[in-house]
Structure 1
Amino acid sequence: MAFEWFKRKKKNITTSTDEKKDIPKGLWHKTPTGKIIEYEELKANSYVSPEDDFHVRIGSSEYFELLFDNGKFKELDTKVESVDILKFKDTKSYTDRLKEVKAKTKLSESIRNATGKVNGIEMVISCMDFAFIGGSLGSAMGEKIRRAVDFAIKHKLPYMIICQSGGARMQEAAYSLMQMAKVQAKLVQLSEAGLPYIAYLTDPTFGGVTASFAMTADIIMAEPGVLIGFAGPRVIRETIGRDLPEGFQTAEFLQDKGFVDFIVKRKEIKETVSKTVKLLMNK
């Protein structure tokens, strides 16, 4: 501490360290490629860095604002939340973790359901939030998707999921894995009702979400450069015992191999979704 004071004195710095004015968090954003952009400019550009086209990770609030006309929508199933079914505990209890993440993110679960108009077309959209325990798939997410599908069927509306997940939620063990089958069963009913299902894969989309409903949509779209897969590259490399192609888990690689239909920039997603729905529903 004395040495720090000496350096400040030598440089004629007299302002108390307690009075230093740091740049407010969020005022500037630095992308992985090193580009610096003012936050307001980033927001005006759909949270995409204009110099390198890097798509900054955003959450459900931002996606709903981008997609729904005038940012207006009705949120559904707000009271469906995770519970500690297994009384899971590692360094702390699952219940405590849920309390902490709810307080930190101001979210009640890792996915939100909403209905509103996208370029005049009424839709149901579910959007995951990576900030909530990595957007993990748990029993509450499965139940919220089920209810969203039921709402879409009842009101004869197209359905869309914006995927952003690290995979299954380990604190719920088998209950989490069961959601894959549960959601798939509901999506079959959606298909039988003649209603389209669109998946929009954002960064990252991994684990059980990728292994099920993220890759079974009528139309699969993805943001540029996002990572999509089941397991990480190290795990896959060790399992198959061979080197992997460069960028094999990017949206562009998966599109080239036929797993993704379209790479859609964030600024174009609203127009692309509305046109796709019109085509699928003959509107």
Structure 2
Amino acid sequence: MDWFKRKKQTLTPGAKKELPDGLWVKCDNCGEIIYKKELEKKLYVCPKCDYHFRIGSKDYIAILFNEGTFEEFNAHLMSDDPLQFTDSKPYIEKYRATVKKTGMNEAVVTGTGKLEQHDVVAAIMDFKFLGGSMGSVVGEKVARAIDRSLELKQPLLILSSSGGARMHEGIFSLMQMAKTSAKLALLAENKIPYISILTNPTTGGTTASYAMLGDIILAEPGALIGFAGPRVIKQTIGQDLPPGFQRSEFVMEHGFLDLIVHRHQLKQRIARILDFFAHQNPH
């Protein structure tokens, strides 16, 4: 019965190879597994289905502005807790934890920079900071960016990526809708161009204020754009919504957008629009 006993070990298991975390990314749209370095080269656009991944303010600054020309201002501004708001935890604790995690002080970065040959003022929102919510400091930074655009007589870009008003700040947050909209009217009076860029998502009070007030309104493909979310609308009207409802393509078809621009062409397309405005309205 010794026939079935192993006389010697002929195979030795090799050391298990583990891939480092973060090397591969799965596309949320088509499920393709993409090498992260390759995805970075393609500006976080899926090479298989063209899905535009959500990216942050630093990425958009790198995409839109000539290297080394973007200079941030009002970076020091930080939110307070005017209502001492508490839900699962105090708002101020949640805010400070987000500052520590993201390395940002707020959900928008404002600055000046050069986009091809054009000097512009910009406000770039970032969804990873409390869902890109528009609190009182976000509104103030956008308002100050508008003031800087008026002062320098330079075009304004606002790139939106936001879930809407920051309800932790209640009425102080909602007031920013009126404040920023009134400021933008001054740009129109002074014939200074304002280009609004909508990314995934642009919703709530952001959509109901400065995001939809551009002289030209652009959007990335497939971006969620709207005021209330689809589920809320469906429950309110008691009807099924059409396919693609509130996506860029549907919104443009119904007249609320001027252009849908692929991320790879975003800088060049904005530059051509600014060429047109500069020709029409030289300072």
Quick check: TM above 0.5? yes
Return the alpha-carbon distance in structure 2 between the equivalents of residues 132 and 29 of structure 1: 22
Q: How far did 1:205 drift?
A: 0.7
Structure 2 equivalent of residue 8 of structure 1: none
Cα displacement string for residues 12-39 of structure 1 (whole angstroms, at most 9, x for unaligned residues)? 8696xxxx76433332111111011111
User: Matches of 2:249 and 2:128 in 1, distance apart?
Assistant: 25
Does structure 2 retain, via aligned residues, the 8 Å contact 1:64–1:71?
A: no
What is the alpha-carbon distance in structure 2 between the residues aligned to residue 249 and residue 22 of structure 1? 41
- 1:154-233 matches, within 5 Å, as 154-233=151-230
> Shift in Å at residue 281 of structure 1?
2.6
For residues 137 and 200 of structure 1, the distance between their equivalents in structure 2, rounded to whole angstroms, comes to 16
Q: Which of the numbers 70, 77, 81 marks the counterpart of 1:73?
A: 70
Q: Match for residue 96 of structure 2?
A: 99
- Identify the residue that residue 3 of structure 2 maps to in structure 1: none
Equivalence map 1:42-57=2 (5 Å):
42-57=39-54
Give the Cα separation in 1 of the matches to 2:47 and 2:124. Answer: 24
Please give the alpha-carbon distance, in whole angstroms, between the structure 2 residues aligned to 1:239 and 1:101. Answer: 33
Does the 8 Å CA contact 1:210/1:228 hold for their aligned counterparts?
yes
1:13/1:136 CA distance change after superposition, 3 Å: farther
Q: Identity percentage over the alignment? A: 47
Give per-residue Cα distances to partners, 1:162-201, cap 9 Å, x unaligned. Answer: 1000111110011111000000011001111110111110
1:248 aligns with 2:248: no
How far apart in 1 are the matches of 2:275 and 2:202? Answer: 26
31-40 or 260-269, larger mean C-alpha shift: 31-40
Distance in 1 (CA, whole Å) between partners of 2:18 and 2:104 is: 28
2:231 counterpart of 1:257: no
1:273 to 270, 273, 279: 270
**TM-score, length-normalised on structure 1?**
0.91
2:33 & 2:273 partners in 1: Cα distance?
A: 34
Alpha-carbon distance between aligned partners in 2 of 1:24 and 1:275, rounded to the nearest angstrom: 42
Partner residue in 1 for 2:57: 60
**CA deviation after TM superposition for structure 1 residue 141, in Å:** 0.4
Does 1:110 pair with 2:96? no
- SS of residue matched to 1:87: coil
RMSD: 1.6
SS in 1 for 2:178: helix
Q: How many residues align?
A: 269
Structure 2: how far apart are the matches of 1:172 and 1:13?
Answer: 59
Q: Which runs of 5+ in 2 are unaligned?
A: 1-11
Q: Which amino acid aligns with 1:130?
A: F
Alignment of 1:146-157 (within 5 A): 146-157=143-154
**Structure with the greater alpha carbon radius of gyration:** 2
| Long gaps (5+) in structure 1 | 1-11
Shift of 1:125: 1.1
Residue 85 (structure 1) aligns with: 82
- Report the CA distance shift for 1:175/1:22 in structure 2 as closer, same or farther (over 3 A): farther
8 Å CA contact 1:196, 1:281 repeated in 2: no
The whole-number CA distance in structure 1 between the counterparts of 2:73 and 2:17 is 42
Residues in 2 aligned to 1:166 and 1:53: alpha-carbon distance in whole angstroms = 23
Q: Does the 8 A contact of 1:111 with 1:135 survive in 2?
A: yes
| TM-score, reference length from structure 2 | 0.91
CA distance in 2: counterparts of 1:279 and 1:152, whole angstroms:
18
